[in-house]
Structure 1
Amino acid sequence: MDDGNSITTKLLTLLNISATKIGKRKRVDDDFVPAEKLNKRKSVSIATEPPTEKSSEQEDVTAKEVLDDEGGISGKDEVEAVNDDEDDGVSHRKRLITLLKPFFTLDPTDAYERHFGNSSSVLSESSRGFVEQNIWKTSREKLGKLGPAVISLPPSADAPVVTTGNDILERLKAPFIAKQAEQPRNQTELQNDLFTTLSSRRDLYLTSTPLESRRCIREVIALHALNHVTKKRRRVLKNNERLSHAAKTNPEAPPPEDVQDQGFTRPSVLFLLPFRSSALNWFHALTSHTPSPSYQIENQSRFVSEYGLPSGAVDKLATAEPGTYPPDHVETFKGNVDDNFRVGIKMTRKSVKMFCEFYGCDIIMASPLGLRRSIEKEKNADYLSSIEILVVDQLDALTMQNWEHVKFVLSHMNKLPKESRDTDFSRIKPWYLDGNAAYLRQSILLSAFETPETRSLFNSNLKNVAGKIRTEKRWNPVEVPDGIDQNFVHFDCVNPNDEAEKRFNHFTTQLLPTVLKSAVQSSNTVVFVPSSFDFIRVHNFFRKHAGVPFTVLSEYSTNQDISRARQAFFKGSKSFLLVSERFHFYKRYKIRGIRNVIFYGPPDHPQFFTEYLSYPYLDEGVESSDVTCRVLYCKYDWFRLERIAGTEAAVELIKAS
């Protein structure tokens, strides 16, 4: 124990002796156990249990442990509770409390307290007004290994982009630093820059997360979430002790007024993920910061069983020879890819408890579909009312699912709850009661690339008054086989609402008729359609009007359908093959027999462009002159066009249109 803690212990001992001598008030008993529900309080003090055997769910937090934690409780109320007519013993005790006060006072420079404290320093009427009107002042800055970024702040916000240093508890920092010593330096630098940015409590949108960096990024964000939960829980436990101590020492006095430390419900962190395998990855990242034997992980075997592959199952993606499947496909789809799940995680001082019910947990991991079904079944989303950190991972994968599920879940975030659920309203932070939680929630978005949907989410749904940060990337052209002539076909569109109609009209009245007139291009032709809605429309057109033999591959095709379609196209009995991007995203089949490729729009995944222009060479004797490529685009295809043609070439294509 260091000198500071030794002094603290001595002062506490003197304080207890003094209180015992005068026979008036004692410090709360060392066996005091806070109630299991952090946001429930009976009468003045928190409900306690007799100091007999303690279950694994109870947390023994003594005054000594409180002082060992970073931060502390204020001695102000205890000083004011002393009457003017106290005797000398009480005066002596008052002096001791004054000496103790520095050990109990909140650190006003703590980034967590500045942002999420009961009187947030970043929340103001003007900042909320600017955010609601979508008025931001923007600047560009390089954030170390995160690269160039656009920083958006309300005009009333402070200029600095990030805090200096990492806002992390000491007991979490030490093992993390030790772990970093065993990894490459560039990963450590990336993690440090990321953690510094997260410590600003600003929203962060990483628009390009390479495969090789995803694990180390997960570890930092998981540590940031654990740090947040731990700080919040410590504040609650310390205030629990204050209230219990105040009730014992002076039962007739009103309880302290500055103990607002909670939301309406307990969950404060939400991970929104596409697959069960994603949840398993985040679970491993989270528990990597809670090492055994100091931490116990309850229901771990059940979680691994339900979120991993069934016993005896073989993952053909993970066990296949390198190169059999593209690396991004293996990373996305190895493991359990069920997209309907939700699980609550409770963090205590010495354990991680899986499968806790939502109103008793700290962290929720769920898929958009899983949460939507839960919300619709219970007809409320009260457990999302107090989320302070939102992490949405693999946005690129979520856009390939049903994006409406994501929008539905986010529309229920940080709303006033429909039921009180035994909430102690005297402990709720004022900005929750005022309905301002959404203005302080920190959202962290991760994606391999940007889409209009994800940019709209960043622009419209993130209202953090501390500001928001979006990383930028300059794309290089994708690699395609030499000699293939890439023909980018532009169509005019001045209103984004007309884009689907304009694209369809140009395809059916100009591009397709030109192709059908050519004897060479009217066979062995693939039409690749990025949007599922456009795919249905094009499919119906071919079925009713095209007058050519065709077949289809969509995400709804059965294995038999897929086999028949591939065979028919390869043998030439079907001249056209319609392929949806979702089909290729989920299945990643190699298609033989291709000579002509028509991209109804640039694909979201740039690697798909490369792959479809490489498939003709699966057949022997194919030359580059035998392959044609057309890409239909307008100015609203900017994100997809940039990833394929490269940033500089995409600018020229848009200007020339």
Structure 2
Amino acid sequence: MDSNTRLLTLLNVSATKYGRRKWSAEKGPSEKLNKRNKTVVTEVVVDEIEKEPEQPVDQNGAEDEDSPSDPYEAHFGAAPAVLTDSSRNAANERRWKSSKFTKGKLGTLVELVPEGASHPGPSQFKGHGVLDRLHKPYKARKTKSSAKDAQLQDELLEVLSSNADIYLSHSPWETKRSFREAISLHAINHVTKKRRRIIKNNERLTAAAKAVPEAPAPEDVQDQGFTRPSVLILLPFRNSALAWFHALTSHTPSPEFQIENQGRFVAEYGLPKDAVDKLAAAAPGTYPQDHVETFKGNVDDSFRVGIKLTRKSVKMFTEFYGCDIIMASPLGLRQSIQKEKGADYLSSIEMVIVDQMDALAMQNWEHVNFVFSHLNKLPKESHDTDFSRIKPWYLDDQAKYLRQSILMTGFETSETRALFNSTLTNVAGKIRLEKQWSPVSIPDGLSPELIQFEASNPADEPEKRFQHFTTQLLPALLKSAVQSTNTVIFVPSSFDFIRVHNYFRKQSGVTFTVLSEYSTNPEISRARQAFFSGQKAFLLVSERFHFFRRYKLRGVRNIVFYGPPDHQQFYAEMLSCPFLDDDVESQDVSCKMLFSKYDWFKLERIAGTDSAAKLVKA
């Protein structure tokens, strides 16, 4: 069934009368999507906001909301000026006009706008567009922050208010809290403006019906999507969700603001009361900062929770079709979609936030692609939607051209750049943070050997790398009396790791052991001991193992990088391993690294931007 046929079907089966409507399941009760218990819902009130006690609209900032120049109205209104045939065609064909501009503490930004677009680029927009009701407490909190953080947040909010896609390709841990607070304010501002407009239109329709009962409804009431959720936040672990929960609730505007089910959320997304977090409790320097920040707290990677915002409360664990914000891991959301055999609750997402993309890449990037492939699709069921109030661009299946995507990662990978380049089609433009990298610091006296191999295209690159390793690099290691023992082979890709592991298993006379993300604690202990004692000449290590475990390895004298690691600090950490043993000099250590021109992002972080460019050109 094509999109037009499906939409006509929805229109035929939907009720279009305004008012408080209820939907009863035809085939039995419907289970709440993000509930762990077995509670079922036999009846769902669609417009729950009509029964909320806080219906009266707060007038603070109303003049901003009603103005055609307001960022929300200009971009997400019923007839956004940026949504034209030419801008959509340019986005589909990936024809973007590129330019650069500098934004204070944020640094250099690359701005992409559709070719031939009649609107100014995102860099031309001034102001943050935040409602006074939310901006006043935000300004009060800023006085407690450093001047640098305050400026960084203001600049980010100004860029976000353009509603262009934002790719923060370098977000170190020092700035993550500031970024989270600014982006969460932007998300709450978006939801607040949307819900306020719906409430005001509800009041208009009610008043019109009372005045002239038989008169038709006002024609300009187009303020909704197919379903209520409008913001999606994708995160790797429950500890990340807890941090975002605190960021979101930090913007509550009044003392009487209530957070419902807060205790349950903290209990389920934090550690148990008697649990001891060894990372958080360890002395500074025991573990690298990025490892502590990533893995302290609850690191369960399967979760999803709905959040509903009203004028005076935040309601956690709201079922998806009644919430405003969905916060989930890609795995947890995929499990929900597959279980329910549909993702209608993602049909009207207007803002998607993806944090810690570098950690998501270490899990399973396919889950991220799966979720994005289900965003802004026409729903399979009507969900008792009032189609007379749906914005025209939803009905025309054009929501993906207006959705704002906010991507954050500690560093770029080919997967994250591909998502930005190929998947995002926001006609308001795309903005990418650009960074000039410096070389990684390594122990004095080491002279790593960088070995380049040729590959004609990305599809052939894994095969060319494997051929070079098995026919040239490994035979040279086996011929050397020094480099044929005490050698660690570090393999970044999980697929390459499996391939190299299988190749070693077929080699007679070569002793080796492995450390992968699937290794159990007893297996890790035996492997480390066998390698340290010299029983095994080679130790195969996957990057995912080092990411999740971060062990320091003893007995290392030779290090071979099958490819540059994604995490640049892993390069320096592996090179420091030989010096954990006593009486080891720099001349006793060797290091070789395979690379191709398609390793640009990784090589840039390790060798520095300027040196990497010379290496690739050479």
Residue 111 (structure 2) pairs with residue 119 (structure 1): no
Q: Is the 8 A contact 2:121 2:429 kept in 1?
A: no
Q: Is the 8 A contact 2:489 2:562 kept in 1?
A: yes
List per-residue Cα deviations over 1:38-76 (Å, max 9, x = no partner).
Answer: xx987344569xxxxx999713434xx46555149xxxx
Distance in 1 (alpha carbons) for counterparts of 2:257 and 2:83: 36
Q: Is the 8 A contact 2:60 2:131 kept in 1?
A: no
State the 1:143 CA deviation: 1.9
List per-residue Cα deviations over 1:261-300 (Å, max 9, x = no partner).
Answer: 0100000000000000000000000000015632100000
Q: Is the 8 A contact 2:49 2:55 kept in 1?
A: no
1:186 alignment partner in structure 2: 148
Distance in 1 (alpha carbons) for counterparts of 2:469 and 2:402: 46
2:600 alignment partner, one of 634, 638, 646: 638
Distance in 1 (alpha carbons) for counterparts of 2:527 and 2:490: 15
1:447 alignment partner in structure 2: 409
* Aligned-partner residue type, residue 133 of structure 2: R
Q: Is the 8 A contact 1:45 1:243 kept in 2?
A: no
1:236 alignment partner in structure 2: 198
* Aligned-partner residue type, residue 87 of structure 2: S
State the 1:647 CA deviation: 0.6
Change (3 A) 1:57 1:243: closer
State the 1:156 CA deviation: 2.8
Q: Is the 8 A contact 2:61 2:132 kept in 1?
A: no
1:161 alignment partner, one of 122, 129, 148: 122
State the 1:484 CA deviation: 0.6
2:90 alignment partner in structure 1: 130
State the 1:126 CA deviation: 0.9
Distance in 1 (alpha carbons) for counterparts of 2:61 and 2:461: 57
State the 1:234 CA deviation: 0.3
- Describe how 1:237-316 pairs up with structure 2 within 5 A: 237-290=199-252, 293-316=255-278
Q: Is the 8 A contact 2:270 2:297 kept in 1?
A: yes
* Aligned-partner residue type, residue 497 of structure 1: A
Residue 30 (structure 2) pairs with residue 70 (structure 1): no
SS at match of 2:461: helix
Distance in 2 (alpha carbons) for counterparts of 1:122 and 1:160: 10
Distance in 2 (alpha carbons) for counterparts of 1:228 and 1:291: 15
- Describe how 1:553-568 pairs up with structure 2 within 5 A: 553-568=515-530
Q: Is the 8 A contact 1:602 1:640 kept in 2?
A: yes
* Aligned-partner residue type, residue 533 of structure 2: K
2:35 alignment partner in structure 1: none
Change (3 A) 1:435 1:55: closer
State the 1:545 CA deviation: 2.0
Gaps (5+ residues) in structure 1?
1-39, 49-53, 73-104
1:323 alignment partner in structure 2: 285
Change (3 A) 1:549 1:44: closer
Moved more, 106-115 or 522-531: 106-115
Q: Percent identity?
A: 65
List per-residue Cα deviations over 1:152-208 (Å, max 9, x = no partner).
Answer: 000233234332111100010011011111111011110010000000000000000
1:405 alignment partner in structure 2: 367
Q: Is the 8 A contact 1:59 1:348 kept in 2?
A: no
Distance in 2 (alpha carbons) for counterparts of 1:67 and 1:218: 27
* Aligned-partner residue type, residue 575 of structure 2: L
Gaps (5+ residues) in structure 2?
1-13, 23-47
2:377 alignment partner in structure 1: 415
SS at match of 1:400: helix
1:43 alignment partner, one of 11, 17, 33: 17
Count matched residues.
578
* Aligned-partner residue type, residue 59 of structure 1: P
2:32 alignment partner in structure 1: none
Distance in 2 (alpha carbons) for counterparts of 1:546 and 1:348: 68
Distance in 1 (alpha carbons) for counterparts of 2:69 and 2:268: 43
Residue 53 (structure 2) pairs with residue 59 (structure 1): yes
1:92 alignment partner in structure 2: none
SS at match of 1:423: coil
Radius of gyration: which is bigger?
Answer: 1
Distance in 1 (alpha carbons) for counterparts of 2:374 and 2:389: 23
Distance in 2 (alpha carbons) for counterparts of 1:616 and 1:291: 54
Residue 115 (structure 2) pairs with residue 141 (structure 1): no
Distance in 1 (alpha carbons) for counterparts of 2:472 and 2:99: 43
List per-residue Cα deviations over 1:373-425 (Å, max 9, x = no partner).
Answer: 00000000000000000000000000000111111110000000000010000
2:428 alignment partner in structure 1: 466
Q: TM-score, normalised by structure 1?
A: 0.86
2:386 alignment partner in structure 1: 424
Change (3 A) 1:177 1:200: same
State the 1:121 CA deviation: 1.4
Distance in 1 (alpha carbons) for counterparts of 2:194 and 2:108: 32
Distance in 2 (alpha carbons) for counterparts of 1:500 and 1:546: 24
* Aligned-partner residue type, residue 613 of structure 1: L
Distance in 2 (alpha carbons) for counterparts of 1:622 and 1:615: 10
Q: Is the 8 A contact 2:101 2:109 kept in 1?
A: yes
* Aligned-partner residue type, residue 506 of structure 1: H
* Aligned-partner residue type, residue 233 of structure 2: F
Residue 186 (structure 2) pairs with residue 224 (structure 1): yes
Distance in 2 (alpha carbons) for counterparts of 1:364 and 1:508: 47
Q: Is the 8 A contact 2:16 2:387 kept in 1?
A: no
Distance in 1 (alpha carbons) for counterparts of 2:370 and 2:258: 35
1:211 alignment partner in structure 2: 173
Q: TM-score, normalised by structure 2?
A: 0.92
2:7 alignment partner in structure 1: none
Q: Is the 8 A contact 1:274 1:398 kept in 2?
A: yes
SS at match of 1:497: coil
List per-residue Cα deviations over 1:319-365 (Å, max 9, x = no partner).
Answer: 00001100000000000000000000000010000000000000000
Residue 299 (structure 2) pairs with residue 341 (structure 1): no
2:453 alignment partner in structure 1: 491
SS at match of 2:184: helix
Q: Is the 8 A contact 1:46 1:243 kept in 2?
A: no
Q: Is the 8 A contact 1:268 1:389 kept in 2?
A: yes
Change (3 A) 1:546 1:240: farther
SS at match of 2:315: strand
Moved more, 378-387 or 135-144: 135-144
Q: Is the 8 A contact 2:61 2:133 kept in 1?
A: no
Change (3 A) 1:498 1:242: same
Q: Is the 8 A contact 2:347 2:375 kept in 1?
A: yes
Residue 490 (structure 2) pairs with residue 528 (structure 1): yes
* Aligned-partner residue type, residue 286 of structure 1: L
- Describe how 1:494-643 pairs up with structure 2 within 5 A: 494-545=456-507, 547-643=509-605
2:42 alignment partner in structure 1: none
Q: Is the 8 A contact 2:515 2:541 kept in 1?
A: yes
